[in-house]
Amino acid sequence: MAFVNSGLLRIARQDAGLSQGEAAERLGIPQVMLSRYENAIAIPSNNILERASNAYDVPTSFFEQTDTVLGAPVSVHPMWRKKQSITIKEMDAIIAEMNIRILQLRRMLNGVEFVPQATMPTFDAEEYGDNPERIASMVRGHWMIPRGPLQNLTEMVERAGAIVIHSPMDGSSVSGVTMAVPGLLPIILLNSEQPSDRARFTLAHELAHLVMHRFPNPSMEQQANTFASALLMPADDIRSAFMSGRIDLMRLAALKPEWKVSMQALLYRAQSLGFVTIKQAGYLWRQFNVHRIKLQEPPELNFPMETPGVLTRMIKLHLETFGYSIPEFAQMLHFYPHRLKSLYHLNDHYRPQQGVGLALA
């Protein structure tokens, strides 16, 4: 084999959920030798690559791709109500999945004319006085979002040229992650295991990083949360909702389906806007615990998960318009058909519904 991408040897191993020691045992080589291969100090033989193909469940052509392998994204955060840290193994799996999806997206875009219907605004947080509330208002204005609840955030983000993908993230505690790669569309990966209210807030949080944070800063996570809250619940629009009655659990439950955010996000917003005192908020948080709804809010208040559409339309173009079979499509993406079906929920009679978002021609 003329070229071997050492970074993709590592990515394939991490995607398979194997430590370097476990992988070396499967390959029948010392761990130090695998380390040399993954760090481009030595070049594996064709025999070793065949073993790696079997161990990692990818074709050998996967290792021949010349794309640069990307490291950890700037911001990764765990789900609310779950553990507050992310393990190295979880981080490795996320980096691997993002790299694989970026590889495949590049190849899909080779045959697709991608025409965003809006633009992704950028308002650097420092240049705007570290004021995420103001920036969220400017984003709503830039996208001409009507006053009141934002009906479909996923559609708005995809119209502006980002790719939103739902994934179980291999059971990870991470709620969302974003990668903005030069020369490629930004990708926002959302954990599909979280409830729809949390997914919307996570998407708004990740959007904040695309809009406000060219460079990381110590306050960026709090800024992103403030932006997300203001984008989904603008102060001037939600004020009347908070003023129209006493703010209690019943009131928060009534507002949740309308504003499509969690009861807890509504309480945080009411407190930040001064409609609830610290004492009143403390009482309500205790009520969340008493009624056992802090970990899981009443299921009857749930609303449907927003559905991304751009990636679905790209796949539809290749399989239906361009006439690729799934094995041919998989070959183009340097992946095995059975793994492609699992990754994109395909079947042999794939007929996805028409998605929303960007125009593809």
Tens of pLDDT along 182-209?
888 899 999 999 999 999 999 999 999 9
**What is residue 360's predicted lDDT score, i.e. its pLDDT?**
46
3-state secondary structure of 209: helix
DSSP 301-316: G--PPP---HHHHHHH
Burial 254-292, CB ≥16 within 10 A → b, else e = ebbeebbbbbbbbbbbbbbeebbeeebbeebeeebeeee
| pLDDT for the residue numbered 350 | 53
Indicate the range of 10-24, 75-89, 113-127, 284-298 predicted with least confidence: 75-89
What integer is the mean pLDDT of 253-266? 97
pLDDT band at 215 (very low <50, low <70, confident <90, very high): confident
DSSP string, 55-116: HHT--GGGGG--PPPP---S-EEEPTTS-S---HHHHHHHHHHHHHHHHHHHHHHTT--EE-
Q: What is the pLDDT of residue 316?
A: 93
Q: Which of 1-15, 68-82, 167-181, 330-344 is predicted with the least confidence, judged by mean pLDDT?
A: 68-82
Yes or no: say if 230 and 137 are a contact pair by the CB < 8 Å rule: yes
| pLDDT(26) > 80 | yes
Alpha helix positions (H), the chain: 6-15, 20-27, 31-38, 46-56, 88-109, 132-142, 153-159, 196-212, 220-232, 235-243, 249-259, 263-272, 278-290, 310-316, 326-332, 337-344
* pLDDT for 355: 39
Domain 114-232 part of CATH 1.10.10.2910: yes
The pLDDT of residue 92? 92
Q: What is the pLDDT of residue 88?
A: 86
Q: Does domain 1-69 have CATH number 1.10.260.40?
A: yes
Residue 226: its pLDDT value, please?
A: 97
- Is the per-residue pLDDT at 145 higher than 50? yes
Q: Residue 85: its pLDDT value, please?
A: 65
- Computed over every residue of the chain, the mean pLDDT equals 91
Please name the residues in contact with 25: beta carbons below 8 A apart, sequence gap of 6 or more: none
More confident residue, 38 or 81: 38
Domain locations in the chain as residue ranges: 1-69, 114-232, 235-301, 310-360
Say which range, 159-173, 280-294, 345-359, has the weakest mean pLDDT.
345-359
> CA 34 to CA 50: how far, in whole Å?
14
pLDDT value, residue 77: 57
The pLDDT score that the predictor gives to residue 171 is 81
Asked if the model's pLDDT at residue 250 lies above 50, the reply is: yes
What's the pLDDT score for residue 216?
85
Given pLDDT bands bounded at 50, 70 and 90, which one contains residue 1? Answer: low
- pTM score of the predicted model: 0.91
Tell me the per-residue pLDDT of 77-106, one tens digit each, with 9 for 90 and over.
Answer: 555 444 456 788 888 999 999 999 999 999
Instruction: List the end-to-end C-alpha distance of the chain, in Å, as a whole number.
Output: 37
pLDDT for position 220: 92
Residue that has been written with the tokens 């439950």 in this structure: 253
Contact 261, 197 (CB under 8 A): yes
CB 196 within 8 A of CB 256: no
Look-up of token digits 């970026």: 102
